[in-house]
Chains A and B, each alone.
Chain A
Amino acid sequence: MLTAEENHRLTRVGADTPMGRVLRRYWLPALSSAELEAGGAPKAVRLLGEDLVAFRGADGHVGVMEAACPHRGASLVIARNEDCALQCLYHGWKIAPDGRILDMPAEPENSRYAERIRQIAYRVHEAGSLVWVYMGPPEYEPEFPAWDWTDKPAEQILVLKAIADCNWVQCLEGAIDSAHQTYLHDSRSRNERDLAYAQWADEKGLDPTDGFDGTGQIVRPWADGRPRLEVEDTSYGFWYAAIRKPLFKEDQFKNVRVTHFVAPFHAAIPSPAGWSQLIMHVPVDDVTTAFYHVRCNLDAPYDDETRAVHTEAAGLVPGRDIDGEFRRVANKSNLWLQDREEMKRDRFSGIRGTVTEDHAVQESMGPIYDRTREHLATSDLAVIRMRRLLLQSLRRFESGEAPIGLTAPVPYASIRGEERTVPVDQPWQTVGRVLDETAGPA
């Protein structure tokens, strides 16, 4: 639980709030690169409660700026994309990606007014099939978070995106909550598949599984609904393990699922060898969150079949599950298309797709969950630690220190979640280790 004040401080992201000021100190994903066509239509972007417009000039460069024209506030989302700048439809003001006013065609020819005005425009960095922005004070711009996939070409990356109609913290809490795996995402067919896979691996004398099948989908060689949870803090968040009894040979092995929380909103969940995946919950505003799940084949392009399997598993098939604005067809208004017959037949939730399952429970908690009303349990270890660290970071920030993760270099490229079945006496810290010891887990 939190007090009402703590809950307020943790969840609100506007520019005049403590957390809003903290979040503006990090690089934030604003949209996926594929959403912008060179010389094409600008795109409305809402981030941390600010209405922005993103566009890609004919030269390929991306600009992200306040959506309202500095003249009289007409939206630049409907502006012309001309000469690598946006031209407002109302009076033709032309604005460069960096916010300079290039032209005020309705003003006298010798006017120098344009030199005295500047649109609010943010620093942009395009990497890993995403457009990132920095919205904070220029003097505090941090190093760009160079994950192991941000330098990979688009054909090796799958960006799954969906909008959740609730506050970012309750979404983030879901990403660092291993205990819900055995309930929300459970299904009879999956259990049967996992058991068959584990038995097959055992018969072949293989590693009792690294937790993934040939397509990189998680195979759970366990059905233990009471994981033992352990956590260790890092300079940028924490890493934690959910330790479970495996489906067989539980006297010899244990299953360890390691997730890294990297402030402020990243969860590096387990990936098979040669792959990387990261979940980010980016606050759109106080009551809306952009969910990004980036999956990257680190060695080769994604093949069509694997891309389809991963998209299907998430339940985020464009046109079927989500619309062009990444809004889910299954939503609160239709009870997330829950199928009670399916609940009897196979899936615990009766809801199709893991992301929709996650969003269903998170949205069902209300726009901003009132954490004075909850009853936390011992299985909420990571959720409890995350709140503590972010609130501590807020207090330190207000006393003049840098927010968590910005005090020392973060070894982003070495942070990767992992799930393995290991001998019972092997420390869990041998799984999912950060390779760069200088700033990794203590």
Chain B
Amino acid sequence: MRTVPGTSEAGQTIHYLPEPGEEGSVATLVDCARALLVDALEDGRRVDSLMVGPSLYAAVQAAKRRELRAGRPLTVLGLHLRPATIGHRPDAAEEHR
């Protein structure tokens, strides 16, 4: 996994890049995101969103269908989930900090 901190207006974004073979695993996503979130909190950084590839985004979206229907935001570990756009590169986000 590689991660690069990016920014949004309210706080930082964690970018999740799965290792080969882990692309579809939400269990692995949550484990990695948790470690990054704790690191950020310990560093006093504010993180409020998590960016993932399209397939993982779709997997979480499907799992959280009930919440979405109820008008709730799509979150993992309290972080707003955002889909990476095609061609998105985390290092590009880094440049925009």
Interface on A for B, CB 8 Å cutoff? 1-4, 6, 372-373, 375-378, 380-381, 384-385, 387-388, 391-392, 395
In the complex, whether B87 has a CB less than 8 A from a CB of chain A is no
Give chain B residues whose Cβ lies under 8 Å from the Cβ of A391. 25, 27-28
Query: How would you classify the secondary structure of chain A's contact residues: helix, strand, loop or mixed?
Result: helix
Number of A-B contacts (CB under 8 A): 56
Q: Is the CB of B26 within 8 A of A6?
A: yes
Are the C-beta atoms of A395 and B21 separated by less than 8 Å? yes
Q: A372-B63, A372-B64, A395-B21 are in contact. Are A1 and B76 (CB under 8 A)?
A: yes
Which B residues contact A (CB, under 8 angstroms)?
21, 25-28, 30-31, 34, 37-38, 41, 59-60, 62-64, 66, 75-78
Please, which residues of chain A bring their CB within 8 A of the CB of B41?
Answer: 378
Q: Give A377's nearest chain B residue, CB to CB.
A: B77
Question: With A376-B34, A378-B38, A384-B34 given, is the CB distance from A3 to B77 under 8 Å?
Answer: no
Contact of A378 with B34 at beta-carbon distance under 8 Å, contacts A2-B27, A6-B26, A391-B25 already known: yes
Main secondary structure of the interface of B (DSSP, over half): helix
Closest Cβ of chain A to B82, distance in Å, is 16
- Is the Cβ of B78 less than 8 Å from the Cβ of A1? no
**Chain B residue contacts of A3, Cβ below 8 A:** 26, 59-60, 62-63
- Complex Cα–Cα for A1 and B34 (A): 12
Judging by beta carbons under 8 Å apart, are A385 and B31 in contact?
Answer: yes
Which of A376, A387, A395 makes the CB contact (< 8 A) with B77?
A: A376
Shortest beta-carbon distance from A11 to chain B in Å: 13
Question: Across the two chains, which residue of chain A brings its CB closest to B75?
Answer: A375
Q: Jot down 30 A-B pairs with beta carbons below 8 A, ordered by A.
A: A1-B26, A1-B60, A1-B76, A3-B26, A3-B59, A3-B60, A3-B62, A3-B63, A4-B63, A6-B25, A6-B26, A372-B63, A372-B64, A372-B66, A373-B66, A375-B75, A375-B78, A376-B30, A376-B77, A377-B78, A378-B34, A378-B37, A378-B41, A378-B77, A384-B31, A384-B34, A385-B31, A388-B25, A391-B27, A391-B28
- From A2, A388, A392, residue with most partner B Cβ within 10 Å: A388
